Structure 1
């Protein structure tokens, strides 16, 4: 079996990046459907002065989601089958937690539940970066802004939980 056969087993770039983009899109849309930043409940929350304006969240999340899809598609091209499977599982958990935070916070109207969810998301993001780095350091580096934004979101969520207990 030559190099072409090995590449075929891993899937071509269109398949890898397309699959990653589809997974990220499902997560983003699922999460976004639970958000209601215009609800009376959300507007009534006491928020810290350093909370970004509502429009900033979409402006930040769009490139972050693109970077997650890029990193996954790139890392999936590496031939280490066992590590690829673990990476895929880590990504699936991460995207599930990412979408789930919106339900915990907005749908259940619970900053405390949201805080628990975002702490789990932080741990999952660290795991995702660690697993990605094992197969592709450049792909892992692309995920660092995502981790930074998740950490910021955790601090914001903690502030909301504290102010609205």
Structure 2
């Protein structure tokens, strides 16, 4: 499969995951439950989340298209599937079910997994592509801190 076909495939999967996650959160960020929580002072305005996730998924899709063109193992496919499940399920766990502690566990595991991708798959021929994970890594650190703040302060 060519790089472009892989890229389109990963864009569809990643943005499809975002759409499913958005649907599963049941209007969570605007819900009375969420708006009444004691939130972190560094919580960004709502529009930042859309910009961040769009940027993250474009960068992540390019990275994955390159990575899978060099290494397409069963292990890598499983890691990617786990990433999709963790990413999508956090919305349901946190916003829909209000399981803040389980949400924190979920997003912590997702953060560790993305850092694992960054450090494990830094082969010479795609090393520079690994830096496309930086927006995802930074955003997950922020999101994990926001979830942790809500867990500790509510």
Structure 2 alignment gaps of length 5 or more? none
Aligned to 2:68: 76
Instruction: Identify which of 32, 39, 45 aligns with 2:31.
Output: 39
The answer to whether the Cα contact below 8 Å between 2:21 and 2:89 also exists between their aligned partners in 1 is: yes
The runs of at least 4 consecutive aligned structure 1 residues that moved more than 6 Å come to: none
In structure 2, how many angstroms separate the alpha carbons of the residues matched to 1:128 and 1:108? 29
Aligned to 1:107: 96
Q: Secondary structure at the match of 1:47?
A: coil
1:49 aligns with 2:41: yes
Q: Structure 1 unaligned runs (5+)?
A: 1-10
- Cα distance in 2 for partners of 1:131, 1:34 equals 31
Deviates most, 150-159 or 13-22? 13-22
Q: How many residues align?
A: 151
The 10-residue stretch of structure 1 (127-136 or 98-107) with the greater mean CA deviation from structure 2: 127-136
CA distance in structure 1 between the partners assigned to 2:75 and 2:121 by the alignment = 9
1:117 is matched with which residue: 88, 106, 114? 106
Match for residue 137 of structure 1?
A: 127
After TM superposition, give the deviation of residue 87 of structure 1 in Å: 2.5
Which structure's relative contact order is higher, taking Cα pairs within 8 Å and 6+ residues apart?
2
Cα distance change on mapping 1:87 and 1:131 into 2, 3 Å: farther
* Root-mean-square deviation (Å): 1.6
- Is 1:87 aligned with 2:79? no
Provide, for residues 86-136 of structure 1, a one-character-per-residue CA deviation record: whole Å limited to 9, x for no partner.
Answer: 323222211211111111101111221211111111111122223432362
Structure 1 position 66 matched with structure 2 position 47: no
CA distance in 2, matches of 1:108, 1:40: 13
**Larger of the two Rg values belongs to structure:** 1
